Structure 1
Amino acid sequence: MNNILEWISQPWPWYVAGPLIALVMFSMLFFGKSFGLSANLRTMCSILGAGKSCEFFDFDWKTQTWNLVFALGLVLGGLISHLYLGYEPAANISETTITELQALGINNPGETLVPTEIFNWENLLSVQGFIFMVVGGFLVGFGTRYAGGCTSGHAISGLSDLQPASLVAVIGFFIGGLIMTYFILPYLLVM
């Protein structure tokens, strides 16, 4: 039993995780479902009655119950892995990235999943924290709605369903990420 728990608590190799993702996607395609976590926000707003004042939320949310259950499973799976399967808060990043982040003022990059110099409650009231958390959160939400889905919906579900719009969206995600990483982030970190 200990060997099984030890195996489960380690990151799964690509040749196990990849086919499992493919199996889930093929089964979703077979049953006529499309994957995307951002759709859950629309469903929750519809459940709470937003459809009475906004046409976008006026749909039969009961058809999306499976997606809410899937999102709940993600939360429970994360909780179980954190509590029982040896959660490690450090991020495994390269030495080059560590050196570059230290040059930008991040003291212990990789020690935690997110840099505490940026993501903390005190920083929220600063200009830098407001830009990272509030403006960044707004842009993620706006971009998700504008693109018709989130990264998981387009990159996993849309590409496996061979949707051209998803290919364009995923290319846009990568271009945006590269622009942010190399041209905008360095200026935000030295604010």
Structure 2
Amino acid sequence: MDWIYEPWPWYVAGPLIALTMFLLLYAGKQFGMSSNLRTMCSIGGAGKYSDFFKFDWKSQRWNLTVVLGSVIGGFIASQFLSNNTVEINPKTTTHLSQDYGIESAGSAYLPTELFASENLADPFVLIILILGGFLVGFGARYAGGCTSGHAISGLSNLQLPSLIAVIGFFIGGLVMVHLLFPLIFS
């Protein structure tokens, strides 16, 4: 049973993702996490205030179970199937520690310098988290979906906008890591 505690190899995980996408495509469904926010807002009555939320949200109930499963699965995995650390290259750990003061790199799943509850009182940390959350939310909406929706569902459906979005995600990630990250955390 030790195999469940380790990352699954690409030749197992990849075909399982492909099978899931085939079944969704066959059923006429599209996978995406950020689209659930629109569904939840519509359920909450946002359609009274914006036409964007006026749609048949009941047809999307199945996708809400994906979110619920992700939350439950994430909890089970983090509490019972993982030691909650990310194994990263020792050179990266040294670089993050020496150049940016992120001592928890490699020993915590999320850097405690940003995500520990006692650090939320620091205005700099709070501004970074709020701004980052806003940019992720805006980007997902502006791109017409999140990374999982475009990279997994959109590309498997051979959608050109998803290919463009995924290329944009990679470029944005490179700009963040190589240009903005050093400016923010130096």
CA offsets 1:22-66 (integer angstroms, 9 cap, x no match): 000111111111111001111111111111111111111100011
Matches within 5 A, 1:77-156: 77-85=73-81, 87-103=82-98, 104-156=100-152
For residues 187 and 127 of structure 1, do their structure 2 counterparts lie closer, same or farther at Cα, with a shift above 3 Å needed? farther
Distance 1:187 1:126 in 2: 18
CA offsets 1:113-153 (integer angstroms, 9 cap, x no match): 11111223343343431332100100000010000000000
Structure 2 counterpart of 1:99, one-letter code: T
Q: CA RMSD in A?
A: 1.3
Distance 1:91 1:160 in 2: 28
Matched positions, count: 185
- Indicate the SS of the match to 1:118: helix
Q: Could you say which residue in structure 2 is the equivalent of 1:189?
A: 185
TM-score normalised by L of structure 2: 0.94
- Between the aligned residues of both structures, percent identity stands at 58
Q: Is the 1:124–1:133 Cα contact (8 Å) retained in structure 2?
A: no
- Indicate the SS of the match to 1:162: coil
Q: Is the 1:151–1:173 Cα contact (8 Å) retained in structure 2?
A: yes
Any gaps of 5 or more consecutive residues in structure 2? none
Distance 1:65 1:49 in 2: 15
Distance 1:94 1:40 in 2: 35
Distance 2:110 2:52 in 1: 34
Q: Is the 1:36–1:153 Cα contact (8 Å) retained in structure 2?
A: yes
